Amino acid sequence: MVKKNNLLGKIAYLSGGVVIGIVLLSLVLFLLAPSLMMNEFESKYEFNETVSLFEQRVNESGWGILNTHDMQAVKANLGYEVLPVKIFDLCSGAYSYEILSRDAERIVTPMMPCRVSIYEKSDGNTYIGMMNSGLVARLFGGVINDVMQKATSETMDIISPIVN
């Protein structure tokens, strides 16, 4: 009887430790997720020059800019005043084909095209922001991981000369 109670006590103690561990891990992930999921880099240049250099680098890289969303202009048309923000939809024909040509990989099409934003903050500095798609890609593995890792690397090659 004493051994059984001792065993039950150890199981309860272990179970409590597991639950506390899960709660703490969940809290840490919740607090870190925003900084892990998004990348922000300070530009060496002011807003308009950053935009111009970025567009030039994209074109030189063989990627394309499908759309540019001028959020400052959009908000101004609605009566709101915000600092400059431009969001670029980037596309690599080869990489997008790898995803779009396979049924199983189409699950990631909501993350297409690659988006990069250039914005100014109230500190007067200009920043380039983008999703950490390299991290997200690892969750999928296979073709999606391979394609997204390459796309992330090339996007970083595009912006690296512009940022600190």
Statement: residue 137 has pLDDT above 60:
yes
pTM for the predicted model, two decimal places: 0.80
User: Does residue 115 belong to any structural domain of this protein?
Assistant: yes
Distances (CA, A) of 116 to 14, 27, 71, 77: 46, 29, 13, 23
Mean pLDDT of 82-89: 98
For residue 74, what is the domain's CATH number? 3.30.310.70
In a domain, 121, yes or no: yes
Kindly report the number of other CB atoms within 10 A of residue 114's CB atom. Answer: 22
Share of the chain above pLDDT 70, in %: 92
Q: Is residue 48 part of a domain?
A: yes
The conformation of residue 119, written as its DSSP 8-state character, comes to: E
Q: Which of 5-14, 27-36, 98-107 has the lowest mean pLDDT?
A: 27-36
Q: Which helix (H) or strand (E) holds 14?
A: helix 2-37
Q: In total, how many domains does the chain have?
A: 1
User: What mean pLDDT is predicted for residues 56-68?
Assistant: 97
Examine residue 88 and state whether it is found in any structural domain, yes or no.
Answer: yes
- Looking at residues 31-46, what average pLDDT do you find? 85
Residues 6+ apart with CB under 8 A from 100: 106, 109
116 belongs to a structural domain: yes
Instruction: Quote the pLDDT of residue 100.
Output: 95
Indicate whether 1 belongs to any domain. no
On whether residue 102 sits in a domain, the answer given is yes
Segment 144-155, tens digit of pLDDT: 999 999 999 999
The verdict on residue 155 lying in a domain is yes
Q: Find the domain containing 104 and state its range.
A: 40-159
